[in-house]
Amino acid sequence: MFQCDIKPFRCFHFYRILLLALLALSGTIYIKHLSNPCTIKDLGYEVSNTRKQYCRNGLYDLLSLRPRKKGEPNCSKIIKGDSDAIKRGLQMNAFTKGKYVHLNEQNYTNITQDCHYFKEFRKYITIPMSKEEEDFPIAYSMVIHEKINMFERLLRAIYAPQNIYCVHVDEKSTEQFKAAVRAITSCFDNVFMASKPVQVVYASWSRVQADINCMEDLLKSNVPWRYLLNTCGTDFPLKTNAEIVRTLRTLNGKNTMESERPSAGKRRRWEYHYEVDDHISETETKKLPPPINTPMFTGNAYIVVCSDFVKYIFKDPQVQQFIDWVKDTYSPDEHLWATLNRMPDVPGSSPYNDKYELSDMNAMARMVKWSYSEGEILKGAAYPPCTGAYRRSICVYGAGDLSWILKQHHLLANKFDPEVDNIALFCMEEYLRHKTIFNTDV
Ligand SMILES: *[C@@H]1O[C@H](CO)[C@@H](O)[C@H](O)[C@H]1NC(C)=O
Ligand SMILES: *[C@@H]1O[C@H](CO)[C@@H](O)[C@H](O)[C@H]1NC(C)=O
Ligand SMILES: *[C@@H]1O[C@H](CO)[C@@H](O)[C@H](O)[C@H]1NC(C)=O
């Protein structure tokens, strides 16, 4: 049904007929299949509106992620919240559940043997879409362990040639998964695998170590990235690269992440020593207080931090001590970043004064719908009910969630899963691609 996920070669054939040729020739890109070929300049703002429109239409012909079959749900209506379209999307999802054939690990290993073919076939955007974006590279730390198709769709959605991407694959992932990720990353100069992979144990220090290993690798790259964002395997962006760049510029060097005063329950996570083998468990051993002069805060694993923040945590002795101290606490990802971001000397941080309390909804890093905060907004709920399914109290978004989450300011949302609702993911892809090329909603 989604031709490109099921019958890629036929889809590619169709694509070939369009005579795709995005050629990078001494910095000039031609969109060649048009009778009046376009250069990258023609996408910009110096040219007349008709020329720009003509060239952007040409680019969209090549790169649209719109379904090409009749009877597909209308994503334009779904993202506007049209209840009939959403109902049809949900029905179609229920009908096709478990029947989708997504590209698997062997497929990716296979297809990426010809990188040029892979990028065309999967419709990667291989040119910077604007000077503003080109001048503002972003670093991503992506921590994943399974579901190759979801990873590749996330990468495609956040990919831009001027950015840099570190992918940390869990040591415990299967060899086929690692091989497929290695094959995908090898097709890009600016996507690489973390040099020191670790085995990630849920709620343990290893989750932070994975990000830190990527950060260390990203600092070594010669891409002058300005901000770092981290993702896990079930995230998906709500904004285009251009929108992300604009948001980061307005942050003006500040970081954005959830950071709030901890409850008594959360405090327990660092009052006791925790032991880790293949899972984490509390002991009766009390820990010493944290080796910092400022209070502890809690948040989540998702951060948006400036490059100086990342440099600082590797060289400041007090931060190093604090990092050593949190290693035997429960889920340090949820208090390490949140606390660092309220320490006055840390680049991009905010004062630890109460006026700077920031909830996950007010921070921009991640849109997450928790089961216990959903309901009727008129009756005081934080967000409307989840239309997908809950996993560990977190909504895996369905098609009916899109119109609301797309109105939020967050750069990314968690969680998406094609096995729960492929239409939701599919409409997000189409929406973002359309907006990337035309700067308007689909
Ligand atoms: C989808 O709906 C929009 C209106 O929101 C309409 O303009 C468009 O033609 C529809 N597309 C299809 C393929 O039916
Ligand atoms: C690998 O590619 C070949 C040639 O395109 C194809 O015949 C084969 O089915 C593919 N195998 C897998 C596992 O994707
Ligand atoms: C993907 O792999 C399956 C077998 O695992 C194969 O049937 C299918 O043709 C492959 N598709 C592509 C595009 O290689």
Tens of pLDDT, residues 237-254: 999 999 999 999 999 999
Q: How many domains does the chain have?
A: 3
Nearest to 342 by CA among 326, 356, 359: 356
In this structure, which residue's CA is closest to atom 7 in ligand 1?
76
Which among 337, 356, 375 is the end of a domain? Answer: 356
Give the model's pLDDT for residue 117.
95
327 is a domain residue? yes
Same domain, 350 and 306: yes
Q: Is residue 352 domain-shared with residue 370, that is, in the same domain?
A: no
pLDDT band at 233 (very low <50, low <70, confident <90, very high): very high
The pLDDT of residue 41 is 77
118 within some domain: no
Residue 107 alpha carbon to ligand 3 centre in Å: 6
Does residue 25 surpass a pLDDT of 50? no
Ligand nearest to the CA of 79: 1
Q: Residue with the nearest Cα to atom 14 of ligand 3?
A: 107
pLDDT (0 to 100) of residue 24: 38
| Ramachandran bin of 393, using left for φ above 0, alpha for ψ from -120 to 50, beta for the remaining angles | left
Domain assignment present for residue 162? The answer is no
CB-ligand 1 contact for 221 (6 Å cutoff): no
For position 104, what pLDDT does the model report? 96
Claim to verify: residue 290 and residue 351 sit in the same structural domain: yes
Residue-by-residue DSSP string for 343-403: STTSTT---SSGGG-B-TTTSSSEEE-BGGGBS-GGGT-SBPPPSSEEETTEEE--GGGHH
Phi, psi of 29 (to 5 degrees): -110, 130
- Of 53, 74, 71, 59, the residue nearest 22 (C-alpha): 59
270 and 326 housed in the same domain = yes
Q: Which ligand is nearest to the CA of 109?
A: 2
In a domain, 225, yes or no: no
**Is the overall model pTM greater than 0.75, yes or no?**
yes
In a domain, 174, yes or no: no
pLDDT tens column, 335-373 = 999 999 999 999 999 999 999 999 999 999 999 999 999
373/438 same-domain check = yes
Do 97 and 41 belong to one domain? no
Distance from the alpha carbon of residue 65 to the mean position of ligand 1, in angstroms: 15
Best mutation site among 7, 11, 110 for ligand 2, i.e. most ligand atoms within 8 A of its Cβ? Answer: 110
| Domain region containing 432 | 76-101+366-409+411-442
Query: Higher pLDDT residue, 35 or 220?
Result: 220
- The reply to whether ligand 1 has any atom less than 6 angstroms from the CB of 76 is yes
Q: Are 93 and 421 spatial neighbours (Cβ–Cβ below 8 Å)? A: yes
135 in a domain, yes or no?
no
Please name which of 216, 219, 246, 144 lies closest in space to residue 185, comparing C-alpha atoms: 144
Measured in Å, residue 422 CA sits from the centre of ligand 1 at 20
- Give catalytic status of residue 134 as yes or no: no
Question: Which pLDDT score, from 0 to 100, does residue 68 have?
Answer: 63
Q: Is the pLDDT of residue 6 over 60?
A: no
**Bridge pairing between strands 412-414 and 235-237:** antiparallel
**Do 405 and 439 share a domain, yes or no?**
yes
Please report, rounded to a whole number, the percentage of residues in the chain having pLDDT higher than 90. Answer: 79
For ligand 3, residues with CB inside 6 Å are 8-9, 104, 106-107, 110
| Chosen domain end from 356, 376, 401 | 356
pLDDT of residue 45: 64
Tell whether the model's pLDDT for residue 98 goes beyond 80: no
Residue 72 neighbours by CB under 8 Å, 6+ apart: 1, 2
Instruction: Determine which residue's CA is closest to atom 2 belonging to ligand 3.
Output: 107
User: Does residue 22 sit in the same domain as residue 95?
Assistant: no
Residue 282 sits in the same domain as residue 351:
yes
Tell me which of 120, 133, 334, 430 is the catalytic residue. Answer: 334
C-alpha of residue 1 to centroid of ligand 2, in Å: 20
Q: Please compute the mean of the pLDDT values over residues 261-273 and round it to a whole number.
A: 97
Answer yes or no: is 209 within a domain.
no
Q: How far away, in angstroms, is 409 Cα from ligand 1 center?
A: 26
Counting residues of the chain whose pLDDT is more than 70, the rounded percentage is 91
At 195, the pLDDT band (50, 70, 90 cuts) reads very high
Task: Decide if 160 is inside a domain.
Answer: no
26-30, 130-134, 429-433: range with lowest mean pLDDT: 26-30
CA-to-CA dists, residue 99 to 73, 262, 400, 418, angstroms: 17, 44, 21, 11
Per-residue pLDDT at 372:
96
Q: How confident is the model at residue 17 (pLDDT cuts 50, 70, 90)?
A: very low
